[in-house]
Amino acid sequence: MKNTKFTYQKSGVNISEADKFVNFISKNTGKKKQKNKNIGGFGSISNIPKNFKDPKLVASTDGVGTKIEIANTLNKFDTIGIDLVAMCVNDLIVQGAKPLIFLDYISINKINLIKLKSILKGINKGCNISNCTLVGGETAEMPGTYSKNKFDIAGFAVGIVDQKKIINKKNIKKNNLILAVPSSGIHSNGYSLIRHILKKKKIKIRKNIFLKKELLKPTKIYVREILNLNNKKLINGCANITGGGIIDNINRVIPNGLSADIDLSKIKVKKIFKWIKNQNIDDYEMLKTFNCGVGFCLIIDKKNLKKINKFFTNEFKPYIIGKIVKGKNKTKFNEKISW
């Protein structure tokens, strides 16, 4: 041990590899693939758009949970970046905010440029869909904290909205319709339960074509549709159906004295949720954990229904699942969900 020189690299941290990734990011982010001059600095500087009379900033942060373990199992990392952006920006639009900037945080046991570049590809795609800019982030190599090949990602988004365009629950009235906007699939919630099922039942997803496709299907980004609707003053309220499912998330936007009366039998359940349900999961657990096919909810005036449908493709066309009534409980569910 005499004269042994200790270095950061010997401890497991490779700064030169990290620098290569930073250089890659700077050349592959920003709109129209223009070089992003923010990357590599200590902080990101962004302009506030000028066409806002009374701008308010809205911020959100999220991750993709244990969906990253499915990505690890399948060795496929090019879509979870889309999930990361989606989980953040879909929360911003609930209040009518236009996503402006996005930052990511990646922590990993050892820098793997192929894996990191693939993750970034998805983040870039998500930002492009959301019409926001990836302005920076952090990549932390943390040997000893994460075991071999393990990592985590988190996202941070900032949006902007005019005071007059904030979607506020006070606009929700009795007899408003509740619309379900279909999800693209599981999105990014409930994966710990899914992985528990896979483990207990010894299901190998690498050999299951259906699960292989469904479990990494990226989260639908609703930015374009919701912002267009809000600009046209066609929605009174909305909810992003994430952790807590339909039960918890609709509760969050209903004003006191009103109730969301939802007919569960109207929900168009996707095949993947029928598969999960058939693994001996009860209805309440399904509705509390998963979106069950409803990725987003809109609360609207009845007269606007036909106008709203024009903003969506057939795959994500909204449909009626309930209405707003007077009541003490924020939500009440009628009928049983049809599996």
Q: What is the pLDDT of residues 194-225, one digit of tens each?
A: 999 999 999 999 999 999 999 999 999 999 99
Side-chain half-sphere CA neighbours of 173 within 13 A = 6
Q: Rounded distance, CA 82 to CA 126, Å?
A: 4
pLDDT given for residue 35 in this prediction: 47
Judge if pTM exceeds 0.85: yes
pLDDT given for residue 337 in this prediction: 93
All structural domains of the chain: 15-165 (3.30.1330.10), 169-185+220-334 (3.90.650.10)
Beta-strand runs (E) in 203-275: 237-240, 258-263
**Per-residue pLDDT tens digits for 20-46:** 555 665 566 555 444 455 556 678 888
